[in-house]
Structure 1
Amino acid sequence: MDNVKKIIAVASGKGGVGKSTTAVNLALALKRLGHNVGLLDADIYGPSVGLMLGVKEGTKPEVKDGNSFVPILAHGLQTMSMAYLVTDKTPMVWRGPMASGALQQILTQTLWDKLDYLVVDMPPGTGDIQLTLAQKANIDGAVIVTTPQDLALLDAKKGIEMFQKVNVPVLGVVENMAVHVCSNCGHEEHIFGEKGGQRLAEQYHVDILASLPLDMAIREGTDGGQPTMVGDAQNSLTASYEALANGVVTRVEEQGGDGPTLSFS
């Protein structure tokens, strides 16, 4: 971890809101800005980063000195995931302490190489794994991902409250699936509600870092291992992720700090 300058957690109160998709595209957008970026898939029970980045099934990290992992490169990102250590058919039937121990292992025993940013794709919720990372590592900021739906917002509030309790700055909110635009007629429809992310941001005095539509291209890209930010195409989606990355960089730089420290015991 001596080679990691800043740690950014991407979190959500519940699953299914596009948290991992946001983490992957945020990492790629930070890379496009010229930074050296790593991506840690901390979702021990449901790791998906490898699939989203097109890492071939069965790919294993090189092991050095018997206990250290060499990150797997994907689209220019240094990545590590529990999915690289087990098969996609292996369920993680672990109690909390075992999952927290696995997270500590892949975090501290990965040989990250001179990273400006390490983006951590957190599991959904506010359980052991989230608290382990929030309490033991000096996270520079958290990005909260939600949809406008009231149920998602309720759980997102719990995520914000958790980070506040452990003194992790909340950098802002990403609102996914904010609107659906019909591909045939162009009609806009707020399927999951309207302005929910804005209300959440106002309640906790943080900014909306990005508001993204319910768009088939986002889903097709991550399912196919070619996320939105891969390639040179410029459109409204890539512009939104670039704005997200710029917002994260600006807010982290405003806070200052000397970089991450660890206190695992």
Structure 2
Amino acid sequence: MISQQNFWPTNLKKLRNRKNMSQESLALLLNMSRSKYNAHESGQTVNPVVEDLFRISDYFGMSIDSLLRVDLTKLSESKIRELEEGNDLYRKGTQLRVLSVTVDKNDTENVEYVPVKAKAGYRNGFSDPEFIAALPKFSMPNLPKSAMFRMFPTTGDSMLPIPEGADVIGSFVQDWTNIKPRTMCIVILKGEQDMVFKQVTQQDEGFLLESLNTVYQPYTVPASDVLEIWKFYSYQTNEIPEQQTDLQTMAKAIKEIRDDLKIMKTKK
């Protein structure tokens, strides 16, 4: 059961009782005083500090999002075990993610660049302030102040006509539920999966990823495999785009007609 209500206090009590632990013994394991832990569980702590969120989330093996937004008292034991095992069935993209950023001497956020050689490390260190601080960084005066930006390199030709090797600047997407169908995004995936540049469409339990180059087949990824999403803002390249041929223009027109027909069918 998902709600905008904050279930943090009742969830802590539920999980502590499942372990048959006293507040004092749990507080000791969490390296905090009993009075501080009791303030969390009794609801006196309205806005838990990030360190406490991480500490308690790590101990119970459950996402911060579930601890805050899912009423665990309404779930069966099997569902709670699924959450503990990392199968966060309730994540819809609005889970709390702490984004590490750097600022310049004027306290303006930098645009960090994730080079190809750092892509694997980024998946493990994307929330580590020290890792982010070590990335190349620059500033761009014309970027909106209302969003956070990062630059990622692209590989392959799946997004032609955007040329292979282009550097894509994306704005951080905090709420995945706001992504419109076929929004071009950089998607950061878990494990050995790559960070990809695709058209993104949200589905029930994940995302459909499509290439602009129709040679590549679309595929889906579960939301649990996604770490971050950065909405396309612009790209940098040292290549001059080739002029479109008549065949490419016709193919584009046909695709637009098909898309319009799909929209018309859904409205009927």
TM range (shorter): under 0.3
Higher relative contact order (CA 8 A, sep 6+): 1
The structure having more radius of gyration, on CA atoms, is 2
Structure 1-normalised TM-score?
0.26
